[in-house]
Amino acid sequence: MSSHPTGQFPAYRPRRLRQSPALRQLVSETHLHASQLVLPLFVRSGRKIRHPIGAMPGVFQLSLDEMVLEASRAHSSGVPAVLLFGIPDAKDARARGAFAASGIVQQAVRRLKQELPQLLVITDVCLCEYMSHGHCGIVQRDPRGAKILNDPSLKILARTAASHAEAGADIVAPSDMMDGRVRAIRAELDRSGFADTPIMSYAAKFASAFYGPFREAAESAPKFGDRRSYQMDAANANEAMREVALDIQEGADIVMVKPALAYLDIIQRVKTEFGYPTAAYAVSGEYSMVKAAAANGWIDERAVTLESLLAMRRAGADILITYAATDVAQWLAGK
């Protein structure tokens, strides 16, 4: 590793290499590039709708026409990919809107592939936005409480992923955290002729308070209980390695750690232990905190955003999912 003979050679002066921007750039170990960015988008029905999310300034629920504009702005700034979340018109206890051929995400994918064929379209595969109760799986209620049923949920998730691939999704991204869902999705994709569609699994997804603003954006807050019986406990790093190992065994092509900034240790371990393409999701709460502090004039939005993303890259993330993707791409281009 980086052992420097400072003992025998006391003249090492680190500041020598910090004297000018060009010198600093020359020895920079980590680089941010627009090609690493993914922009999440929230899509809904209607026309000319840009419904603002209170806690996420600059983020909107978009009708398909507005989604195309937003995606096109991102793409022309250098962002190669979007991640789609759907807000359906109706929810039920079977998440029918999640896998309907005419579902909101399926429509959005077709539209994007038609209008921006070069843009990579990644779809979030989950049920919470489509379930009347807001949980990520099928719920069984009894007098003592509610249980999220694992295996019965797998079929719906697999069907949902296949319907996204059928619509033209380039990558499917399961975020539900049911056990065995990557295997179930891989099998269903292979069976339905999509053996070449990659899976980016939310492999180490923690039960996090940082998701608060997203649940307003996606209208997916659970109506009762919480997600702690399926998402991970923030205390656990070894368990995160087991989750990632399992998803890789089951066929994940890209693994994700989420949230990002408070979980840099997990990102680093995942990258060094598995060497797989690794994504970091800078979630809604991370974005909101920066926006709120910046709006008060307390921090420099651009500098803090770039420094945070650089930290994720330094930890080992190859792919950065961020609501600030378009701004970041423009900043990196010097705009």
Footprint on this chain of ligand PBG (rule: CB under 6 A):
124, 126, 128, 136, 175, 211, 214-215, 227, 283-284
Q: Are 39 and 79 in contact (CB under 8 A)?
A: yes
- Nearer to ligand PBG among residue 250 and residue 286 (C-beta): 286
Question: Which is nearest to 209 in space by CA: 173, 233, 177?
Answer: 233
CB of 105 to ligand PBG, least distance (A): 12
Is residue 223 part of the annotated active site? The answer reads no
**Active-site choice (91, 155, 205, 223):** 205
CB nearer to ligand PBG: pick between 36 and 123: 123
- Assess contact for 129 and 220: CB atoms under 8 A: yes
Helix (H, G, I), strand (E, B) or coil at 214: helix
| Residue tagged active-site, from 91, 113, 155, 258 | 258
Q: How far is the CB of 283 from ligand PBG (least distance, A)?
A: 4
Structure tokens at 37: 């960015």
How buried is residue 306: exposed, middle or buried, by Cβ count under 10 Å (0-12/13-18/19+)?
middle
Tell me the backbone φ, ψ of residue 18, rounded to 5 degrees: -115, 15
Minimum CB distance to ligand PBG, residue 168 (Å)? 21
Q: Are 308 and 294 in contact (CB under 8 A)?
A: no
Shortest CB 262 distance to ligand PBG, Å: 12
Query: What does the alpha-carbon distance between residue 72 and residue 69 come to, in Å, rounded to a whole number?
Result: 5
Q: Give the residue with the Cβ less far from ligand PBG, 106 or 175.
A: 175
Residue among 113 and 215 whose Cβ is closer to ligand PBG = 215
Compare residues 91 and 227 and give the one whose CB is closer to ligand PBG: 227
Q: Which is nearer to ligand PBG, 160 or 175 (CB)?
A: 175
DSSP E strands in the chain: the ranges are 37-44, 50-52, 60-63, 81-86, 120-125, 138-142, 145-149, 171-174, 200-205, 254-258, 278-282, 319-322
Residue type, 80: P
Amino acid at 129: E
Amino acid at 331: W
> Would residue 291 show up in a list of annotated catalytic residues for this protein?
no
Query: Which residue minimizes CB distance to ligand PBG?
Result: 214
C-alpha dihedral (308, 314, 316, 321), degrees to nearest 10: 20
Catalytic residues: 205, 258
